[in-house]
Amino acid sequence: MKYYDKIGFWKDDVEIRPGVYKSEVIEKYYSGDVLENRLRWDSTEHQSDDLNVNNKISIIADPYLNENLGSIKYATFMGVKWKVKVLDIKYPRVIFDLGGVYNGVDA
């Protein structure tokens, strides 16, 4: 399966009102391959279980990606922003392991 979607990079924290900050994210489109496409529901204390993916996405790195590997926040897949859990760097490719839904909050 082919991949073409956005990857979000943290740029800076911006003050949206006095004392309240929000992460500014830059999104860039990348293409590549979906190596694995699996869903998993994790039991939680909440009413419904958490949905996680165990997807692996392989993309060819460009200079921007190479310079901002530590700033990657999420990868969009099938219309949902997913947390990037692991980066496997195998130049010229970078393989992303995706996890739970990215809600804009860093744990």
Quote the number of domains for the chain.
1
Q: Identify whether 67 is part of a domain.
A: yes
Domain that holds residue 57: 2-101
> 14 vs 76, which has greater pLDDT?
76
Let me know if residue 44 belongs to a domain.
Answer: yes
Residue 12: pLDDT over 80: yes
pLDDT tens digit string along 31-49? 999 997 766 555 556 555 5
| 75, two tokens | 């990868």
CA 71, CA 17: separation in Å to the nearest integer? Answer: 24
Find, among 48, 56, 54, the residue nearest to 100 by Cα: 54
106 is a domain residue: no
Judged against a pLDDT cut of 50, whether residue 107 lies above it is answered with: no
- Angle at Cα 41 formed by Cα 40 and Cα 44, nearest 5°? 145
Cβ neighbours of residue 35 under 8 Å, at least 6 residues apart?
55, 56, 57, 58, 95
Copy the structure tokens of residue 51: 């949905």
